Amino acid sequence: MQYALFLGCVIPNRYPGIELAMRNVAPTLGIELKDMEGASCCPAPGVFKSFHQPTWLALAARNLIIAETLGTNIVTLCNGCYGSLKEANEILKMDSSKRDEVNKILRDLNKEFKGAIDVKHFVEVVYSEIGTEKLRGLVKKPLNLNVAIQYGCHLLKPTKYRKVESTERPKFLDELVEVLGSRSVPYRDKMMCCGAGGGVKASNPDVSLDMAKEKLENMRDAGAECIVSPCAFCHLQFDRGQVDIRNKLGVDFNIPVLHYVQFLGLALGFAPDKLGLYSNAIPVDSVLKKLEAPIVA
């Protein structure tokens, strides 16, 4: 399997450890990654798309064209990047007038959107193209943990562009966590937004922090020992957000946050420093102590 790796903004600038984890884990899964040289912001759907759709589509199309040139589909590690690129890709494929408008803009760059590739999220690839049974056979280190799963909004909605079994009660990420030996704990308002998306974190930081605090309270009350999300922005919200909540509100949750590719990497036997886990704001020591078998890679 070959994929063009779209990193987006948050991972290179805030959590390069997630990229490190992906580059180490991908070969074990039989995934060959191609670098998207010159890629820009996706761009963020909650900002660009809300103000001027042609600009959003043109910027997204430029990124999509990079993958088209590489001749392979895109894989992302961020729900926002996934949502923006996937929706733009589908809109431009289906709407010839918008495609012509975007290609007119891109003509100055000698680029043309052709609609030759698809956009997939990493967990979508793992679930649909690798499968839980094959994944089970790759596990070297069962993760005996109670996990609070954060799906994130853009992974599931809008339903017009998402092919999942249920956007209200999804199970695929729960399955991908539990096949690694963990338990996905049910908690109140599990499907609620983390509070970061749609420009809320930047424009209304107090509201954003309050939403994160409510979710963290529910996760803690359910007995979660860590949080696992497939989204870099949700990861940022819960990891760095816990530090902000501690400093501003005096509440200390201390729940480690792992991106799914990092969590998977632990189960595959990779050492924490190969997965970028020591760059998290909330230490992962409590998670590592729970692991039973010695790390072999």
Blockwise average pLDDT, block size 10, the chain, 297 residues: 96 96 98 97 80 92 98 97 96 97 96 97 96 96 96 84 74 97 97 85 86 97 98 96 95 97 97 94 92 54
Same domain, 141 and 232: yes
Give me 106's structure tokens. Answer: 């891109």
Domain boundary among 121, 149, 180: 121
Q: What pLDDT score does 292 carry?
A: 57
* 165 and 214 co-located in one domain: yes
The 10s digit of each residue's pLDDT in 20-61 is 999 999 999 999 999 999 999 999 877 777 778 999 999 999
Q: CA-CA distance, 177 to 50, in Å (whole number)?
A: 34
- Quick one: pLDDT at residue 261? 98
Total domains present in the chain: 2
The neighbouring-strand residues paired with 35 are: 5
Q: Which residue has the tokens 């501690």?
A: 246
Please indicate, yes or no, whether residues 99 and 145 belong to a single structural domain of this protein: no
Q: Which residues are within 8 A (CB) of 254 and not within 5 positions of it... i.e. 6 or more apart? A: 242, 282, 286
Do 184 and 177 touch, CB atoms closer than 8 A?
A: yes
Same domain (yes/no): 12, 41: yes
Edge-to-edge strands, sheet with 183-184:
183-184, 146-149, 226-229, 257-259
Where helices occur in the chain by DSSP H, the ranges are: 10-14, 16-28, 50-51, 53-70, 79-94, 96-106, 122-125, 132-138, 172-178, 200-203, 205-221, 232-249, 260-267, 285-290
Which residue range is the domain that position 234 belongs to? 132-290
Q: Token match 């987006």: residue?
A: 8
Residues 223 and 258 in one domain: yes
CATH number for the domain that contains residue 194: 3.40.50.11810
Whole-number Å distance between alpha carbons of 282 and 288: 13
Name the DSSP class of 130.
I
Whether 144 and 87 share a structural domain: no
Alpha-carbon span 257 to 63, nearest angstrom: 29
Q: Evaluate whether residue 252 is within a structural domain.
A: yes
Characterise 269 by phi-psi region: left (phi > 0), alpha (psi -120 to 50), beta (else). Answer: left
State which of 121, 140, 164 marks the end of a domain: 121
d(CA 169, CA 236): 24
Tell me the whole-structure pTM to 2 decimals.
0.94
Does residue 272 share a domain with residue 136? yes
**Structure confidence at residue 166 (pLDDT):** 66
pLDDT at 51: 78
